A and B are shown apart, each in its own frame.
Chain A
Amino acid sequence: MNFPILSSLILLPTIGALFLFFIKEKEGNNSTIKYVALFTTVVNFLISIYLWIAFDQSTSSFQFIEDRTWIKGFINYKVGVDGVSILFIILTTFITPLCIISVNNSIKNRLRDFLIAILIMESFMIGVFSAVDLVVFYLFFEAGLIPMFLIIGIWGGARRVYSAFKFFLYTLLGSVLMLVAIISIYWITGTTDVVQLYEIGIDVKYQNLLWLAFFSSFAVKTPMWPVHTWLPDAHVEAPTAGSVLLAAILLKMAGYGFIRFSLGLFPVASEVFTPLIYTLSVIAIIFTSLIALMQEDMKKLIAYSSVAHMGFVTLGIFTLQQQGIEGSIIQMISHGLVSAALFLTVGVVYDRMHSRLISTYGGLVSVIPKYSILFMLFALASLGLPGTSGFIGEFLILMGAFKDNFLVAVIASIGVILGAAYMLWLYKRVVFGKLLNEDLKKILDLNRSEYFILSCLAAPILFFGFYPDPLIKTIEVSVTDLINMHNTNIASK
Chain B
Amino acid sequence: MENLNLVLPEIFISISIMFLLILGVFKNDSSKITFNLSLFAILITTIITINETFSVTRETLFNESVVIDSMSSLMKIITLIGGFIVLVISSTYLKTFKMHNIEYPVLILSSILGMMIMISSNDLIVFYMGLELQSLALYVLATYNRDQLKSSEAGLKYFVLSALSSGLLLYGCSLVYGFSGSTNFDIISNQLNSEEYVLTFGIVFILVGLAFKISAVPFHMWAPDVYEGSPTTVTLFFTIVPKIAALTVFIRFLYVPFLNLIDQWQMIIIFLSIASMVFGAVAAIGQTNIKRLIAYSSIGHIGYTLAGLATVSNEGIQSSIIYISIYVIMNLALFSCLLMLRRKDQYYEDIEDLSGLSKNHPLLSLCLLVILFSLAGIPPLAGFFAKFYVFTAVLEQSMFFLAIVGLLSTVVAAFYYLRIIKIIYFDKEKDKYDTDHSLWLKFSLTVSTILILLYFIFPSQLIEVVSRINII
State the A residues within 8 Å of B (CB): 69-72, 113, 135, 138-140, 142-143, 145-146, 149-150, 153-154, 160-161, 164-165, 168-169, 172-173, 176-177, 179-180, 183-184, 186-187
Contacts and interface: CB of A to CB of B under 8 A. Distances in A.
Contact of A69 (B362, B414, B425, B460): B460
Given A142-B379, A176-B411, A180-B391, A161 B373 contact: no
A71 B407 contact: no
Contact of A149 (B391, B407, B418, B464): B418
Interface of B: 362, 373, 378-380, 384, 388, 391-392, 395-396, 398, 400, 403-404, 407-408, 410-411, 414-415, 418, 421-422, 425-426, 456, 459-460, 463-464
Given A113-B362, A169-B414, A184-B395, 5 more contacts: A142-B384, A172-B411, A179-B388, A180-B403, A183-B391
Task: List the 4 closest A-B pairs by CB distance, nearest first.
Answer: A176-B407, A72-B460, A139-B379, A183-B395
- At the interface, is chain B mostly helix, strand, loop or mixed? helix
A142 B422 contact: no
22 contacts: A113-B362, A139-B380, A139-B384, A140-B379, A146-B373, A160-B426, A164-B422, A164-B426, A165-B418, A169-B418, A172-B414, A176-B407, A177-B404, A179-B407, A180-B391, A180-B400, A180-B404, A183-B388, A183-B391, A183-B403, A186-B392, A187-B396
Contacts of A165: 415, 418, 422
B411 to A, nearest CB: 5
Contact of A179 (B391, B396, B415, B425): B391
A140 B392 CA distance: 18
A69 B421 CA distance: 34
- At the interface, is chain A mostly helix, strand, loop or mixed? helix
Given A161-B426, A165-B415, A71 B460 contact: yes
Contacts of B403: 180, 183
B47 to A, nearest CB: 28
Given A160-B426, A176-B411, A139 B456 contact: yes
A187 B395 contact: yes
Contacts of B464: 72
A203 B335 CA distance: 48
Contact of A161 (B378, B414, B422): B422
B414 A168 contact: yes
Nearest to A213: B404
A339 to B, nearest CB: 26
Contacts of A143: 378-380
A168 B418 CA distance: 9
Nearest to B363: A21
Contacts of A146: 373, 378
A169 B422 contact: no
Contacts of A186: 392
B378 A177 contact: no
Contacts of A183: 388, 391-392, 395, 403
Given A139-B380, A165-B415, A172-B411, A180 B395 contact: yes
B391 A153 contact: no
A135 B395 CA distance: 15
Contacts of B373: 146
B379 A177 contact: no
Nearest to A145: B378
Nearest to A141: B379
Contacts of B404: 176-177, 180
A255 to B, nearest CB: 21
Nearest to B423: A161
A160 B425 CA distance: 12
Nearest to B425: A154
B408 A176 contact: yes
Contacts of B379: 138-140, 142-143
A153 B463 CA distance: 36
Given A139-B380, A180-B400, A71 B414 contact: no
A138 B391 CA distance: 15
B391 to A, nearest CB: 6
B308 to A, nearest CB: 13
Contacts of A153: 421-422, 425-426
A173 B411 CA distance: 6
A177 B464 CA distance: 28
A493 to B, nearest CB: 23
A229 to B, nearest CB: 17
A186 B426 CA distance: 40
A71 B395 CA distance: 18
Contacts of A168: 414, 418
Contacts of B463: 71-72
B378 A180 contact: no
A367 to B, nearest CB: 36
B213 to A, nearest CB: 30
Contacts of B362: 113
Nearest to B414: A172
Contacts of A142: 378-379, 384
A165 B414 CA distance: 10
B454 to A, nearest CB: 12
A169 B380 contact: no
B207 to A, nearest CB: 28
A25 to B, nearest CB: 9
Quick one: which of B362, B392, B410, B422 has the most chain A CB within 10 A? B392
B409 to A, nearest CB: 10
A150 B414 CA distance: 14
A135 B385 CA distance: 11
B243 to A, nearest CB: 25
A308 to B, nearest CB: 28
B459 A71 contact: yes
A300 B446 CA distance: 42
A28 to B, nearest CB: 18
A169 B460 contact: no
A255 B345 CA distance: 55
Contacts of B380: 139, 143
Contacts of A164: 422, 426
B426 A169 contact: no
A169 B415 CA distance: 7
Nearest to B400: A180
Contacts of B408: 173, 176
Contacts of A150: 425
Contacts of A172: 378, 410-411, 414
Quick one: which of B362, B395, B404, B422 has the most chain A CB within 10 A? B395
Quick one: which of A165, A172, A184 has the most chain B CB within 10 A? A172
Nearest to B376: A172
A242 B57 CA distance: 55
